[in-house]
Structure 1
Amino acid sequence: MKYSRLLTVLCLLSLTVAMAAGCSVFKNPWEGTWWGVQDAGMNWSGDNIQYLESFTFTKDGDQITVKHQVQRGRQESTGSLTGTGKADGGTLTITPANGGKPVSFTYDRLKSTIETSLTNADKSPVILKQLTDDNKSEMEKTREHIISVSQKPENAVNTTISSSKTAVRSKSY
């Protein structure tokens, strides 16, 4: 009697674990907010320049609305990959609203990350992770770091140099 009760409990427990694992495998990655850091390389003053890339995916019937935001220095702006997407399993093809060429993102189920068409300075793809309560502070610290690097005096854009180069180039020889 005790043995059959124990066996029943074990079967129910294993069924629960299997259902939980199945739900995580079939989770739709093309919903919610995902973020990652694009490494743009070193600037002339030796600072590592980074951009915070965030994507919000909203399912709308068969289509997915894609909102792309980019933090470049102190400025956050709408990214060039804002548009609509069509999901095909673990791949999302995005058609940018600005008429740009369609791009594909790929979901990695083992790592729970999204590989984008954006590239880092070393030509590796920018990887996104889903925004959660656990990593929201990490994203905000990254944003603060990007802003602080842009506010350094040595990273200010000097327009007098660029305007003098323009004057030299326009001279005919």
Structure 2
Amino acid sequence: MTTNTPYQLAVVISSVREGRFGPVVANWFLDRAKQREDVNLSVIDLAETPEGLSPGVAAADAVVMIVPEYNHSYPGPLKTALDATGPEWHGKPVAFVSYGGISGGLRAVEHLRPVLAELHAATIRETVSFPYAWNCFGPDGEPHAAEDVDLAAATLLNQLGWWANALRDARRVRPYAA
């Protein structure tokens, strides 16, 4: 049985560094997601959330990770937060908005995919990435090439919404068993 109920989307800001760029990227993405009627949003900022990922992911139907690339991978605190979780991820879709240097954070995303597979989450294909992210945004926090990245975000949210609803409905009918 499918529903028209908006899905619960948790957006994870995964950088905890002082002077981090993650909130700029996250605010842009959150502004796009807030415009949709099929989404209820929550934010998990690892720099400000002592309880980690567990409660927010448990309550979510889907997750978007705002992830930087540090040293060809993702931040250590995100790995620690992921390792402290488990069943919260089972049968939930995950999408990525990445940023960094030349690769736009995509190497971090590729390192996260097998970790999330081990947690029984389903990562989706579509991503949004910002190479040399600090050059992609103006002082107002808006991207210079807004049309391109807004389209990428809409595509990501469309695909994630399909998976969020399909997997939420499936978990209701038949709870996920690892």
Q: TM-score by structure 2 length? A: 0.27
Name the structure where helix makes up a greater proportion of residues: 2
Q: TM-score by structure 1 length? A: 0.28
